[in-house]
């Protein structure tokens, strides 16, 4: 969510960007945890 709120293509979209940023931090963490390895390293068996 680095530049999302300032990107000119999205400044008129009616979105609560602060809420999006907060939820994104959670989703990003959980999703990365489920795919703990990088793509080239594959998905861990624990995430199947």
Ranges within 3-32 binding other proteins (CB under 8 A): 3-4, 7, 10, 15, 20, 23-24, 26-28, 30-32
Q: Which residue has the tokens 């390293």?
A: 41
State how far the Cα of 7 lies from the Cα of 18, in Å rounded to an integer: 15
Minimum distance from residue 33 beta carbon to other proteins (Å): 9
- Report whether 25 contacts 32 (CB < 8 A): no
**Residue ranges binding other proteins (CB under 8 A):** 1-4, 7, 10, 15, 20, 23-24, 26-28, 30-32, 34-35, 37-45, 47-48
């Amino acid at each position: 969510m680095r530049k999302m709120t300032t990107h000119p293509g999205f400044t008129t979209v009616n979105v609560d960007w602060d809420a999006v940023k907060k939820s994104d931090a959670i989703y990003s963490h959980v999703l990365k945890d489920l795919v703990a390895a990088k793509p080239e390293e594959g998905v861990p068996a624990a995430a199947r």
